[in-house]
Structure 1
Amino acid sequence: MKRILLLGLIGFALTGYCDDKVTKEYLVGKWDCSTKQYESKYDSKLKKYNDYSLRSSEQYKHTYKIVDGFLMAQINNGEAAKTDIDKVYKQPTIEGKRGNCEYTINRSLIKNSSNKFTWELEMFYACSYMDREITKTKSKNERVCTRIE
């Protein structure tokens, strides 16, 4: 009996009592958020991306509510929109093609603490044109939010 209890406790500890996932319930409330957008170009001679440079920065209020089982997000008292955060965990990487461009999008949602989370989105683009070499760029959006209420 003691062995079963001990194995159960070990399994519980290993599978993660960890509370590090951002859930709909966690997001409910008001948040103070700052978003930074970065961009980088590909140096074809060095065959690497340059360091990110800050393109823009913005501060705003974000409110989340659960309505009829759906998570609704509202920015600065604008119109609310349905949000599905489970997609970030189920499909953190998206690849596709639009026109002459191929893209890869990497997403992550991190619970920093009980009152703070980080949402990151990194996008890689490779576009080809008939008479020119492939143009590569990457951009990154980082949103850090701290709970107000």
Structure 2
Amino acid sequence: MRKIILICLFSLALYGCGEKKNTEEMLVGNWKCDLTQQVANWKNGAFQDYGEPESKKLIVVYKIYDGVIIKSRLNNTPRPSAVIELWESEPTYRAIHNLKNIVVDNNFVTSIESKLDYISENEYKLTEVISKIYGDFTELEQERSNNKVKFEEYCTKIKTD
């Protein structure tokens, strides 16, 4: 009986690892994305409802570098020769695994929640909520400084021939 249970657990562990790798491999490539951003203001000791969304279109690129999935949002500047690329892995890992990151400082707490939802092999939605709360500030200072921003990225894979 123990052998059967061990085999089942081992099979489940292998399946879980394969799924993660498949997920990362599915992301590799270029994506056309619609990014929306909404801000919630602080009032009376709590965040209020999100405001109107601001939207923009961008290109997102994923690739595997040294065994780690990395992501870049291409920022097209007014000068075509000055395309800025920043590659990062930690936010991508956090989103794939639906993790929450909390940073506690003497004056404030920052919370980052990320989630990646697969719609299909060629579509995904990334949601990230970042909030920053200052604890030792007066209410007026908190209304100016505390912030909560929600980003939603709806992406479709760019077909390559």
**After TM superposition, is the score higher than 0.5?**
yes
Which aligned pairs between 1:110-125 and structure 2 lie closer than 5 A?
110-125=117-132
The one-letter amino acid paired with 1:28 is V
Residue in structure 2 matched with residue 51 of structure 1 by the alignment: 49
Conservation of the 8 A alpha-carbon contact between 1:97 and 1:103:
yes
**Percent identity at matched positions?**
24
Range with greater deviation from structure 2 (75-84 or 26-35): 75-84
Residue in structure 2 matched with residue 94 of structure 1 by the alignment: 101
Residue in structure 1 matched with residue 150 of structure 2 by the alignment: 140
Structure (1 or 2) with the greater strand fraction = 1
Q: Which runs of 5+ in 2 are unaligned?
A: 75-82
Conservation of the 8 A alpha-carbon contact between 2:69 and 2:93:
no
1-structure distance, mates of 2:69, 2:134: 35
TM-score by length of 1: 0.69
Runs of 4+ aligned residues of structure 1 deviating over 6 Å after TM superposition are 19-22
Conservation of the 8 A alpha-carbon contact between 1:62 and 1:75:
yes
Q: Number of aligned pairs? A: 134
Range with greater deviation from structure 2 (23-32 or 134-143): 134-143
Deviation at 1:117, TM superposition (A): 0.7
Conservation of the 8 A alpha-carbon contact between 1:74 and 1:81:
yes
Which aligned pairs between 1:1-149 and structure 2 lie closer than 5 A?
23-44=23-44, 48-54=46-52, 56-76=54-74, 78-79=84-85, 81-84=87-90, 85-90=92-97, 92-98=99-105, 100-129=107-136, 132-133=138-139, 135=142, 136-149=146-159
Q: What root-mean-square deviation, in Å, do the aligned CA atoms of Structure 1 and Structure 2 show? A: 3.2
Deviations 1:63-87 (A, max 9, x none): 2222442324333364351424333
Relative to 1, partners in 2 of residues 1:59 and 1:69: Cα closer, same or farther, differing over 3 Å? Answer: same
Higher RCO (Cα < 8 Å, 6 or more apart):
1
TM-score by length of 2: 0.65
Conservation of the 8 A alpha-carbon contact between 1:22 and 1:111:
no
Relative to 1, partners in 2 of residues 1:68 and 1:100: Cα closer, same or farther, differing over 3 Å? Answer: closer
Deviations 1:75-110 (A, max 9, x none): 336435142433335561111124522122211111
Q: Give the match's secondary structure for 2:26.
A: helix
2-structure distance, mates of 1:148, 1:117: 12
Relative to 1, partners in 2 of residues 1:20 and 1:116: Cα closer, same or farther, differing over 3 Å? Answer: farther
Relative to 1, partners in 2 of residues 1:40 and 1:114: Cα closer, same or farther, differing over 3 Å? Answer: same
